[in-house]
Amino acid sequence: MYWILVAWFTFVLWLSARAEHVRADRHTFTSVAVPDSGLTYVKNSGICETTPGVGQMSGYINVTENASIWFWFFEARSSPETAPLTLWLNGGPGCSAMIGLFQENGPCTVNPDRRTTTLNPYSWNTISNMIYIDQPVGAGFSTGTGPVDSTDDAAKMMWTAFQILFESPEFSAFAGRDLIFATESYGAHFGPTFITYFNAQNALIESGDLAGQKIVFTSLMINDGKHDPLIQYASYISFAADAPGYGPLQSESVIGAMSDAFYKEAGCRAQLEDCYAAGTKRASDNALCAAANDLCNQDIFHPAIRGYDSSDLRQMSNSTSPFPPTYYISFLNLDSVRAAIGATSEYDQCSNAVQAGFDFMGEFGRSALPPLAALADAHFPILIWVGDADIKANWLGVHEAMVSMSWYGNLTLNNTALTNWTIDGTPVASIKTVDSFTFSRVFGGGHNLPAFVPGTALQFFSRVTGRAIPSSAASAACASCAPFASSAPSPAPSAPAATSATASSARSIPRPWAWALLWIFFAVI
Ligand SMILES: *[C@@H]1O[C@H](CO)[C@@H](O)[C@H](O)[C@H]1NC(C)=O
Ligand SMILES: *[C@@H]1O[C@H](CO)[C@@H](O)[C@H](O)[C@H]1NC(C)=O
Ligand SMILES: *[C@@H]1O[C@H](CO)[C@@H](O)[C@H](O)[C@H]1NC(C)=O
Ligand SMILES: *[C@@H]1O[C@H](CO)[C@@H](O)[C@H](O)[C@H]1NC(C)=O
Ligand SMILES: *[C@@H]1O[C@H](CO)[C@@H](O)[C@H](O)[C@H]1NC(C)=O
Ligand SMILES: *[C@@H]1O[C@H](CO)[C@@H](O)[C@H](O)[C@H]1NC(C)=O
């Protein structure tokens, strides 16, 4: 009899200890600097980043009482106390940064069972602290209302979010550390505009005209950017006619029709030029810019991609298993996962409402080049990199945008040849650099670049951050310097050694319940 009681007692203690171990801690932080704002978050949920000793936090930056911005932070796997902080944003607009986290450069990928994860040895938190943010409100897990339909408004909300973050004890240590802005696709609008806005706020703080903390971004990396509609719609014609390294995508008659539609009177080019000429008289010209973009999409983009996956010309649009897979969406909608990470809403990877709002404001017809050009002109460190299998932000168009924009290095960039970057005997990309500005065509990359060439992407990230890849990670990373087949339809990297963590492992026996069992035990004896 006695040993049964001892076993029972031990079991209850074990449950209690285990619950303590896996229980996600919930925290709140109330901002003093920004009224009615704060953080609500969970520490060390055990989801995704399962490397022992590597911390994480996930939750909301409640920017106003009605706007909650979702963030997920991962400590660097090595030297987190000196490593930089990197912000990752996806594009859309309205697409969630969880795309980047789970498909591109985060600590794990989700397995086909949609319940378990595998550690990603090429994760960018190998060398940097990482924060993934769903913005603007309406994107991913971010909820609420507020101005969500222009890049300028998104910049303001993000600045407030960073004021709250950096005021909190969890993030205040990052003040003064290198802060890298990494983004892709429509992020070509977010990155330059946000940094420019932050810099303007920093100047006001410096001069005493604004109370707040300076938030100083130290470099910008944009892969597969949507920088400039006029230049990039034109690029679909040349890319579809002959995608370098891959060949023609469409017939000569289709290319001819695209070209006519682009250059004809009142065609795509003329309408975009009208939108550009409208300049900053924004409100009255939103409809003009939206209509120009719609026409160009119809007449130029759709014919260029017909039959193909616009993110990767090696895949067909009717593929039943496109890469990268989207298992992570089901994973994030598991109640157990959402409870563990502290998410309060259903997950959707891109918000149609946000996209429609930006479209209505004419944002898709406008160029994102002026603020990027100004940063380049000021020698701000910039990496512009593009996967050479991406059609929708193809590298010919992005390159043309970089040599055409107004900055001191445009002619030099134009007249500098791309040279191969070879890692362990394999050319992974071609590159050219003018001072702190680098352009690269990345071999074998699709639109969500790091998903296709994760090891190469980590090497680029290492260049930008100036942080060496630790040798343990480097040997894994070099698996991805493996040959890329220029025509292979299956760009998936070979699976790294599996370290699985089940979603259900995050489910825990709540501590009160364990204590109740103990209490019953004592009551019984
Ligand atoms: C912050 O926002 C989240 C999501 O909307 C909500 O669950 C939480 O209660 C909010 N926190 C505070 C302190 O208001
Ligand atoms: C939040 O929403 C409520 C109800 O719509 C509104 O009355 C209030 O002004 C909003 N607050 C802010 C800060 O936008
Ligand atoms: C996809 O389309 C191509 C050509 O348009 C066709 O040959 C192929 O059978 C289709 N595949 C599927 C899975 O429908
Ligand atoms: C290059 O930038 C300069 C400003 O530095 C600008 O005047 C010029 O038009 C740009 N060149 C091209 C080809 O756009
Ligand atoms: C840019 O480079 C291309 C090809 O290398 C060359 O034909 C063109 O003249 C250059 N443009 C300028 C403005 O130098
Ligand atoms: C650069 O690498 C690519 C891909 O392997 C190759 O096709 C090309 O010939 C190389 N260029 C040079 C100049 O070596």
Model pLDDT, residue 471: 82
The 10 Å Cβ neighbour count of residue 337 is 24
Asked whether the predicted pLDDT for residue 487 surpasses 70, the reply is no
CB-CB contact of 434 with 413 (8 Å):
yes
Residue of the CA atom closest to atom 4 of ligand 3? 307
Q: For 263-290, what is the mean pLDDT?
A: 88
Q: DSSP readout, 306-369?
A: TTEETTEEEEETT-SSPSSP-HHHHHHT-HHHHHHHT--S---SB-HHHHHHHHHTTGGGS--H
Determine the Cα–Cα distance for residues 15 and 31; give it in Å rounded to an integer: 36
Asked whether the predicted pLDDT for residue 479 surpasses 50, the reply is no
Three-state secondary structure readout of 226-286: CCCHHHHHHHHHHHHHCECCCECCCCHHHHHHHHHHHHCCCCHHHHHHHHHHHCCCHHHHH
- Token look-up 């502290």 returns 342
Q: How many CA atoms lie within 13 A of 270 on its CB side?
A: 8
Query: Three-state SS for 88?
Result: strand
- Model pLDDT for residues 508-525, shown as the tens digit of each residue: 333 444 444 444 444 444
- Model pLDDT for residues 101-151, shown as the tens digit of each residue: 999 999 999 999 999 999 999 999 999 999 999 999 999 999 998 767 899
Which ligand 2 atom is nearest residue 36's CA?
Answer: 13
Question: Distance from the CA of 293 to the center of ligand 5, in angstroms?
Answer: 28
Model pLDDT, residue 7: 58
Model pLDDT, residue 146: 72
Average pLDDT of the chain to the nearest whole number: 88
Report the candidate in 43, 62, 85 with the shortest Cα–Cα distance to residue 164.
Answer: 62
- Model pLDDT for residues 221-243, shown as the tens digit of each residue: 999 999 999 999 999 999 999 99
The answer, as to whether pTM is greater than 0.75, is yes
Q: Which residues line ligand 3 (CB under 6 A)?
A: 307, 316, 318, 320
The 10 Å Cβ neighbour count of residue 453 is 27
Residue of the CA atom closest to atom 1 of ligand 1? 62
- Model pLDDT for residues 2-45, shown as the tens digit of each residue: 555 555 555 555 544 444 334 457 899 999 999 999 999 999 99
Q: Out of 421, 430, 453, give the residue to mutate to test ligand 6, the one with the largest number of ligand atoms within 8 Å of its CB.
A: 430
